Structure formats: C-alpha cells, structure tokens
Structure 1
Amino acid sequence: MKVKYDKETDILYIKLSEEKIEESDQDKKGFILDYSKSGNLVGIEILNASKSSLNPTKVEYEVA
C-alpha cells in the first residue's frame, strides 16, 4: 500500500494494489474509487483532502 498527498491539487491517493486501473467511479462526493478489470479495489482518491475531516499530512497506521 502506498499513500501520496499532492499539496497543489489537495488530493490524497491511497494505492492498494499494483493492478492496472480499468474503471473509476465517484462513490460519494469527493471520493473516487479505482477498480481493476477483475473488480478489485485498486485505489482511493480523496479530492479536497485538507477540507475533509482527514489530515493528509499525518498518516497513522496500526499493525495487529
């Protein structure tokens, strides 16, 4: 998994897989979901990330 934040465009992208993106759908306003040919979720694009409840400059993760 890779997480990338672009300050200029204010877009946070979470890449879940190296599979090629075949289709993208805007699930809810400001969220674009990328899918592979087989229907697997490949990535999540969050538009206007700094204006949402997220803090795109601080990413925390937990391993259980």
Structure 2
Amino acid sequence: MRIKYDPETDTLSIRLREEPVADSEYLEGKGIVLDYNEKNEVIGMEILGWSRFQKSGQEIALELAS
C-alpha cells in the first residue's frame, strides 16, 4: 500500500495494489476517484480537495492491521 499527498493539487492518493489502472470512476459530489484493475477490483483512490477533511495543523495517524 502506498499513500501520497500532493500539496500542489491538494490530493491524497491511496494505492492498494501496484497494478495498471484499467478504469476510473469519479464519485459525483464527493470529490473521490476510484481506480479499478482489469478484474474491476478497486486498486486505489484519490481524494480531491483533501484539506477540507483536515483541520489546520492536524496530523494524520495511520494504523495498519496485519
């Protein structure tokens, strides 16, 4: 899994699998793009306008369960 924030575009990208993106779907009104592989499985997502979800100066905690 790879998580990346781009401050220039204010986009948080979450890549679940390192596979080619076969298709993408924009969720209207939510500012979210889902990326699918050839099997129509979600392999990633982009959250557009990420800063609207985050308070100023707030850190992001990431917890991964194994």
Judging changes above 3 Å, is the alpha-carbon distance between structure 1 residues 62 and 38 closer, same or farther for their aligned structure 2 residues? Answer: closer
TM-score, with normalisation over the residues of structure 2? 0.81
Q: 5+ residue gaps in structure 2?
A: none
Question: Counterpart of 1:63?
Answer: 65
Question: Counterpart of 1:48?
Answer: 49
CA distance in structure 2 between the aligned counterparts of 1:32 and 1:57, rounded to whole angstroms? 23
CA distance in structure 2 between the aligned counterparts of 1:42 and 1:54, rounded to whole angstroms? 27
Structure 1 segment 1-64 matched on structure 2, within 5 A? 1-28=1-28, 29-53=30-54, 58-63=60-65
Number of residue equivalences? 64
Which AA in structure 2 matches 1:3?
I
1:31 to partner: Cα distance: 0.4
Q: Which moved more, 1:52-61 or 1:9-18?
A: 52-61
CA RMSD of aligned residues (A): 2.4
Identity %: 36
CA distance in structure 1 between the aligned counterparts of 2:55 and 2:37, rounded to whole angstroms? 26
TM-score, with normalisation over the residues of structure 1? 0.83
Question: Retained in 2: the 8 A contact 1:5–1:57?
Answer: no
Which AA in structure 2 matches 1:24?
S
